[in-house]
Amino acid sequence: AFPSSVRIVEVGPRDGLQNEAKAIPAETKVELIDRLAAAGCRTIEAGSFVSPRWVPQMADTAVVLSRIRRHPGVSYPVLVPNMKGLEAAIDSGCEDIAVFASASETFSRHNINCSIDESLERFAPVLTAAHGHGIKVRGYVSCVLGCPYQGAVAPESVADIARRLFAAGCYEVSLGDTIGTGTPFAAMKMVETVAQDVPLSAIALHFHDTCGQALANIYACLGLGVSVVDSAVGGLGGCPYAKGASGNVATEDLLYMLNGMDVETGVDLDQIVNAALFVSRVLGKHPNSRVASARLTQ
């Protein structure tokens, strides 16, 4: 059955901007995050504490976090790959972090320079220390519907990593179609397989829209009862270590669909469109979404 409400996890300021070639001023990131909070987003991924040599665009995450206007009831999670990242997150007063693993061995090597098993070993002390500080930890699994380096990925491999992240104490596991090659039946089969090991209430969808399938995939998986969806304002995004992969499903396109289905989100479509137009203007790009593009031609 379809959920009556969906929690949108806005990942634009992180996943959306991490891959931009030109430097984006911290002020722009701050304004984007503040606009998203004002639009009603309750979870806004604000940056990453990763190596600045690997992802230069996220190097100013601490500055961004120190300048945003923190709205009550809004969480601002950041990505953390290791203890060094956790320490930076603690110094910035973060209450939410996310660790990120992969269902593909080759992608794991390219993205975080270690094997899947090594990454999970590395996350264990991060989770323990985070929980000791009262910090909530989300887990990501990448390449759930395909890998840019090794092609097909079995649903059982995704379920295995998701189960281990959940067992390690992640409150939610976000399933990433990193390269956006999935289609609805494959997405459903993958989620059904994961749901044998992780409760549906702890599963989130994180679909990139490279092949135009993200909304169809989300629709299919909402029908299974998933109720948390990651999206990026303006359809921004891509992973620097997944060549050719395009942005996340656009928040405004997702909202347009959910509003039409009478699914509650608490997020205001017009304000999201305005935020999409704002960030596209700063980046000198056309918004990568149907709804914002339609607004421009009205």
Q: CA 218, 222, 225: angle at the middle one, nearest 5?
A: 150
Kindly report the number of other CB atoms within 10 A of residue 61's CB atom.
27
User: According to CB under 6 A, which one of 104, 111, 213, 280 is a site residue for ligand HMG?
Assistant: 111
Site string (251-290) toward ligand HMG, x via CB under 6 A: ----------------------------------------
Q: Does 142 bind ligand HMG (CB under 6 A)?
A: yes
The number of CA neighbours under 13 Å toward the Cβ of 113 is 6
We find the least distance from the C-beta atom of residue 206 to ligand HMG, in angstroms, to be 5
181 interacts with, out of Mg ion, ligand HMG, none, CB within 5 to 8 A per kind: none
Catalytic residue among 143, 147, 170, 239: 239
Identify whether 211 is a catalytic site residue. Answer: no
Q: Is 210 helix (H, G, I), strand (E, B) or coil?
A: coil
Taking the C-alpha atoms of residue 205 and residue 99, their distance in angstroms, rounded to an integer, is 15
Taking the C-alpha atoms of residue 272 and residue 254, their distance in angstroms, rounded to an integer, is 11
Nearer to ligand HMG, 51 or 193 (CB): 51
What is the footprint of ligand HMG within residues 200-259 (CB under 6 A)?
206, 208, 239, 241
What is the footprint of Mg ion within residues 1-30 (CB under 5 A)?
15
Nearer to Mg ion, 3 or 237 (CB): 237
Q: Is 31 helix (H, G, I), strand (E, B) or coil?
A: helix
Classify residue 19 by its DSSP letter.
T
CA distances from 54 to 107, 112, 167, 241 (A): 14, 9, 29, 9
Contact positions toward ligand HMG, by CB under 6 A? 15, 18, 48-51, 54-55, 79, 81-82, 84-85, 100, 111-113, 140, 142, 176, 178, 206, 208, 239, 241
